[in-house]
Amino acid sequence: MRKAVIAGNWKMNKTPEEARQLVSDLKPLVKGASCEVVVCVPAVDIAAAREAAKGSNIHIGAQNVHFAKSGAYTGELSAEMLVKSGVEYVIIGHSERRQYFGETDATVNQRVKAAVEAGLKVILCVGEKKEEREASYTDALVEYQTLIALTGLENKQVEQIIIAYEPVWAIGTGLTATDEQANETIGVIRAALARKYGKNVAKKVRIQYGGSMKPSNVKGLMAQPEIDGGLIGGASLKAEDFSAIVNYDAE
- The whole-number average pLDDT for the span 189-213 is 96
Residue-wise pLDDT tens digits, 69-78: 999 999 999 9
* Fold designation for 5-246: TIM Barrel (3.20.20)
With a cut of 80, say whether residue 63 has pLDDT above it.
yes
- pLDDT at residue 170, as a whole number: 77
With a cut of 90, say whether residue 103 has pLDDT above it.
yes
- pLDDT at residue 172, as a whole number: 67
pTM value is 0.96
- The whole-number average pLDDT for the span 117-135 is 93
Residue-wise pLDDT tens digits, 15-25: 999 999 999 99
Residue-wise pLDDT tens digits, 26-56: 999 999 999 999 999 999 999 999 999 999 9
- pLDDT at residue 78, as a whole number: 98
Q: What is the DSSP string of the chain?
A: -PPPEEEEE--S---HHHHHHHHHHHHHHSTT-SSEEEEE--GGGHHHHHHHHTTSSEEEEES---SSSSSS-TT---HHHHHHTT--EEEES-HHHHHHS---HHHHHHHHHHHHHHTPEEEEEE---HHHHHTT-HHHHHHHHHHHHTTT--HHHHHT-EEEE--GGGTTTS----HHHHHHHHHHHHHHHHHHH-HHHHHH-EEEE-SS--TTTHHHHHTSTT--EEEESGGGGSHHHHHHHHTTT--
Residue-wise pLDDT tens digits, 137-189: 899 999 999 999 999 999 999 999 999 999 887 776 767 779 999 999 999 99
- pLDDT at residue 109, as a whole number: 98
The domain segmentation of the chain, as residue ranges, is 5-246
- pLDDT at residue 163, as a whole number: 98
Task: List, by residue number, the catalytic residues.
Answer: 94, 166
Residue-wise pLDDT tens digits, 78-100: 999 999 999 999 999 999 999 99
